[in-house]
Amino acid sequence: MGGSTPSGLVATGDPSERAINAAAKVSPAVVSIINEQLFGFGLGGQKLEGDDAKEGEGILREAGVGSGVIIKKKDGKAYIVTNYHVVAGAQKVRAVLTNGEIREASVVGEDQITDLAVLAIDDKGIDTVAEVGDSSALRKAEFVMAIGNPLGLGESITMGVVSVIEEVVPVSLNQNGVIDWEQEVIRVDAAINQGNSGGPLIDLNGRVVGINSMKIADFGVESIGYAIPINKAMPVLEELMAQGFVSRPYLGVYTLDLQQYWRQQDMGDLGDLFGEDPEGWLGEEEGSGSGAEDSEGAAEQGKDGEEPDGGEGEAGGTSSDLKLPDNVLAGVIVLEAVGPALKAGLQFNDVIVDFDGHAIGTTMELRKYLYSKKKIGDSIEISYYRDGELKKTKLKLGESVAEE
């Protein structure tokens, strides 16, 4: 006697068969990414890397691996999506196709804030382009798969479920322990390991619903991975393909959080007490404090292209005689002003505390206000302290441009 489907439920077929078909559909569009950087030796035989090696002789060597997925073909090029941190610092980027062929790739555009980048390769022989899905249609407990190149071992597929549809994860863009941005992500329990970064998260229909980017790698934590929702990624990717960078309102300040400054000053007092720099904190970059690590091993997402620097941990460059009223406990110290900020009169050691009547206590709040509340060309009123006196200035926000 035949069975029947209970009222209200939809028969979807064998999930394993759907997974096999979905993986087969997308896999030909998945590539491995090789980040090659210049390594050399300077005077005295010391090892030089990246920009330091450019001045002398050196050789290109593999500095990191990641993954990517082809989402578009146009005018003889195939466009690959990956993470910014996968290609950061690369002198040369190569893409490895599923048939093992290695092709040189060019960086079309990259964006550190969203941790996204677009590469291009010759489209000869590229027959499969991944279908872009709808991340807003995802449901809790829905099966998803992460495809990529973990540990450089070649293509791998892991499966899990959507744990959280929308989660906000604090990150340190410059990997200096300062939480200066928040990334909206999908949380999954599919295994995401080093090398999976930049690869696609797909649903059982074989559609890309996310770009795998981070995991929590703390001791005792298992199966907590994150992917950038494809609906959030696509507007950025389209802009990167069109102009190579993302246009955002531009203020023009290098900054340091006041709270971080006070913390480093306190550690300086402790260093005086013990006659040394405790744990190497004075004027140095601190260890990651975000708790969320990308699958290349850190929560770094790169330099903010809008604020020329978003809290680099350069307290050593800030005057130790900062003058503020006793009740001012939060704000953003200006380490350097350029562009619109310089024209408006902002200077070294000014402490920004307010935008348009909204309190600004951290670099993250500064960025979030600019990017969510303002547009290029808008005016903004800035309240700041200089030598203990509250001042105000107005300026017109500029437009971010691609870095040389």
For residue 189, what is the domain's CATH number? 2.40.10.10
Alpha-carbon distance of 145 to 160, in angstroms, equals: 6
The residue written with tokens 């809790």 in the block is: 140
Q: What is the CA radius of gyration of the chain?
A: 23
Provide mean pLDDT across the span 167-190: 84
Do 147 and 224 lie in one domain? The reply is: yes
**Is pLDDT above 60 for 287?**
no
What pLDDT, on the 0 to 100 scale, is given for residue 54? 54
**Is pLDDT above 80 for 59?**
yes
Instruction: Categorize the per-residue pLDDT at 210 as very low, low, confident or very high, splitting at 50, 70 and 90.
Output: very high
308 to each of 303, 314, 340, 374, how far by Cα in Å?
A: 8, 13, 12, 17
Provide mean pLDDT across the span 120-139: 96
What pLDDT, on the 0 to 100 scale, is given for residue 41? 52
8 within a domain of the structure (yes/no): no
**Is pLDDT above 90 for 51?**
no
Q: What is the CATH number of the domain that holds 271?
A: 2.30.42.10
The number of folded domains in the chain is: 3
What pLDDT, on the 0 to 100 scale, is given for residue 62? 84
What pLDDT, on the 0 to 100 scale, is given for residue 224? 83
Please tell me the least confidently modeled range out of 6-20, 72-86, 327-341, 365-379.
6-20
Q: Which residues, in sequence order, are bridge partners of residue 110?
A: 117
Confirm if 123 and 78 have CB atoms less than 8 A apart.
Answer: yes
**Is pLDDT above 70 for 279?**
no
> pLDDT per residue over 218-259, tens digit each?
555 566 889 999 999 999 999 999 999 999 999 999 999 999
What pLDDT, on the 0 to 100 scale, is given for residue 242? 96
Do 275 and 322 lie in one domain? The reply is: yes
Confirm if 103 and 121 have CB atoms less than 8 A apart.
Answer: yes
Do 274 and 385 lie in one domain? The reply is: yes
Instruction: Categorize the per-residue pLDDT at 5 as very low, low, confident or very high, splitting at 50, 70 and 90.
Output: very low
Q: Which residues, in sequence order, are bridge partners of residue 170?
A: 182
9 within a domain of the structure (yes/no): no
Do 156 and 105 lie in one domain? The reply is: no
Q: Which is the catalytic residue, given 27, 67, 172, 197?
A: 197
Q: Which residues, in sequence order, are bridge partners of residue 254?
A: 309, 336
Tokens of 135: 């991340």
Instruction: Categorize the per-residue pLDDT at 149 as very low, low, confident or very high, splitting at 50, 70 and 90.
Output: confident
Alpha-carbon distance of 189 to 224, in angstroms, equals: 5
Do 98 and 33 lie in one domain? The reply is: yes
Alpha-carbon distance of 350 to 335, in angstroms, equals: 8
What pLDDT, on the 0 to 100 scale, is given for residue 270? 47
Do 225 and 187 lie in one domain? The reply is: yes
358 labelled catalytic: no
Mean pLDDT in the chain? 81
**Is pLDDT above 60 for 278?**
no
Alpha-carbon distance of 236 to 229, in angstroms, equals: 12
Do 389 and 284 lie in one domain? The reply is: yes
Q: Which is the catalytic residue, given 85, 213, 309, 383?
A: 85
Q: Which is the catalytic residue, given 27, 32, 111, 115?
A: 115
Do 83 and 193 lie in one domain? The reply is: no
By three-state DSSP, how is residue 165 classified?
Answer: strand
197 labelled catalytic: yes
Tokens of 399: 């437009």
Do 321 and 376 lie in one domain? The reply is: yes
Q: Longest C-alpha distance within the chain, in Å? A: 87
Tokens of 30: 């998945």
233 within a domain of the structure (yes/no): yes
**Is pLDDT above 80 for 198?**
yes
Give me the domain span that covers residue 70: 28-122
85 labelled catalytic: yes
Do 82 and 205 lie in one domain? The reply is: no
Q: Which residues, in sequence order, are bridge partners of residue 381?
A: 394
Alpha-carbon distance of 208 to 201, in angstroms, equals: 6
